[in-house]
Amino acid sequence: CASGEEYDAVLSFWDPLKADPKSYGEIVLQRLFETKPDSQKLFPKFTALSKEQLQNNPDLQAHGGIVVCKLTEFMQGGGRDKKTLKDLAESHAKQHKIPRIYFQIISDVIFEVVVEKIEGFGTDAQTALKNVLKTFQTQMGEFYDELGFDD
């Protein structure tokens, strides 16, 4: 599990994402679809759209914003807010049918985008972010296990 100091270290660089979740979320989802084209099929709203149609797409921006806001909420809770993750695991397992591997895949994309776009995100903050995202994936996995969702 990531330590409290690690959540603080990440949050000390997180202001740009808090200020503009849609823009960062848009980049994350576009990068996700580029690096893992299969992932696009998991989104009924986006599955049929071309790369061009995913540019400046208000739905994609809105959903990207939602994803970044949830992640911010998780970090601000210092990993102790189980309700947020439990609700997230339930909707992703039962409603959206997202195999758990995608939490790792999107975490890797988030890491890449954050390090690339956020000024001053040094090695210590990078290690902290890796550990925080790892904790996120692990806890989502534990809720998936509880729900009996095997994928």
Give me the half-sphere count of Cα atoms (radius 13 Å) on the Cβ side of residue 138.
9
> For ligand HE5, which residue of 93, 106, 109, 125 counts as binding (CB under 6 A)?
106
> For ligand HE5, which residue of 7, 33, 43, 121 counts as binding (CB under 6 A)?
43
Task: Single out the residue of 120, 125, 121, 102 nearest to residue 28, CA to CA.
Answer: 102
Query: Does residue number 98 form part of the binding site for ligand HE5 (CB under 6 A)?
Result: yes
How many residues make up the chain in this entry? 151
> For ligand HE5, which residue of 8, 20, 81, 87 counts as binding (CB under 6 A)?
87
Question: Which ranges of the chain would DSSP assign to H, the alpha helix?
Answer: 4-11, 15-19, 21-35, 58-76, 82-90, 101-117, 123-147
Q: Least separation, in Å, of the C-beta of 126 and ligand HE5?
A: 18
* Interface residues toward ligand HE5, by CB under 6 A: 39, 42-45, 63, 66-67, 70-71, 87-88, 91-92, 96, 98, 102-103, 106
